[in-house]
Structure 1
Amino acid sequence: MICRGEPALVSLCHCRECQRRTGSTYGIAAFFPRPEVKISGAATAYCRQADSGFDVTLHFCPRCGSTVFWEAARKPEMIAVAVGAFADPEFPAPGKQVYSQHRHLWVAVPVA
């Protein structure tokens, strides 16, 4: 996968689905305009309904099982990429948190 330019948004999500998907306390996504993302290689897809009622299709690496990117029917113009997939400690910090009501009480996350 190749993402060109800077992400339109980096968001930290505390929802229960991101907790289950990552096996951690939250997930972090970088949202890029669809034309700025080139997808290549094999992926396994899983589709589920989000709290909004719209479908979300998650794409996993078939070799290691990591979530690489996802597409939300609510935002068809964007592709969300797992920030961990970049393996870049200088990647921009999240500028937004969502589903904070599900945040584990011991998690303190600074947001840019």
Structure 2
Amino acid sequence: MPLSGHCLCKAVTYTVDMDAPIITGYDHCDDCQRQSGSTYSLVCVVLKDKLTVNGPVKKWEGKGSSGQSVWRWFCEECGSPIAHDPDAAPPIIALKGGTLDSEIKKTLKPDTEIWTAGKLPFCQEHLEKPFTHMPE
């Protein structure tokens, strides 16, 4: 069954022609903390060429630790973050896990933590595969 989701106002919808994300993880980078307004962002990494997005998406360009652009996608209408798209890893895109359809996100099993260099000291998640930065 393909993955699917939407923003808060449902103006932006998406489908991913994949049964499951490649990685589901807690992203502790400072940018994800700021974009989510929380201590980390739950991300679901998928193949970008399997993703179809409909609706008014705005893209904001930031810089990643690689020095390359990271495009933050969000709904123009309600401002919900949808994904971040790193130029340093062209085949993938990281969807914001909270935007997946309810029945799908209930089945997510985070399997890693990334950017633990930015992990706030009071966060308690301790998974078996943490990465100080991005996995290779």
TM-score with structure 2 setting the length: 0.75
Unpaired segments ≥5 residues, structure 1:
none
Match of 1:14 in 2: 28
Query: RMSD of aligned C-alpha atoms?
Result: 1.6
Measure, in 2, the Cα distance between the counterparts of 1:70 and 1:61. 12
Q: How does 1:69-108 map to 2 (within 5 A)?
A: 69-88=83-102, 89-108=105-124
Q: How does 1:37-76 map to 2 (within 5 A)?
A: 37-76=51-90
Match of 2:15 in 1: 2
Measure, in 2, the Cα distance between the counterparts of 1:79 and 1:35. 9
Measure, in 2, the Cα distance between the counterparts of 1:53 and 1:94. 27
Q: Which runs of 4+ in 1 moved over 3 A?
A: none
Unpaired segments ≥5 residues, structure 2:
1-13, 129-136
Q: Deviations over 1:8-33 (max 9, x none)?
A: 11121111111111110001111111
Higher relative contact order (CA 8 A, sep 6+): 1
Measured after TM superposition, the shift of residue 93 of structure 1 is: 2.1
Measure, in 1, the Cα distance between the counterparts of 2:49 and 2:107. 20
Measure, in 2, the Cα distance between the counterparts of 1:60 and 1:77. 20
Measure, in 1, the Cα distance between the counterparts of 2:68 and 2:26. 19
TM-score with structure 1 setting the length: 0.89
Measure, in 2, the Cα distance between the counterparts of 1:26 and 1:6. 21
Count how many residue pairs are aligned between Structure 1 and Structure 2.
112
Q: Deviations over 1:28-57 (max 9, x none)?
A: 111111222111111111001011211101
Q: Is the 8 A contact 1:93 1:111 kept in 2?
A: no
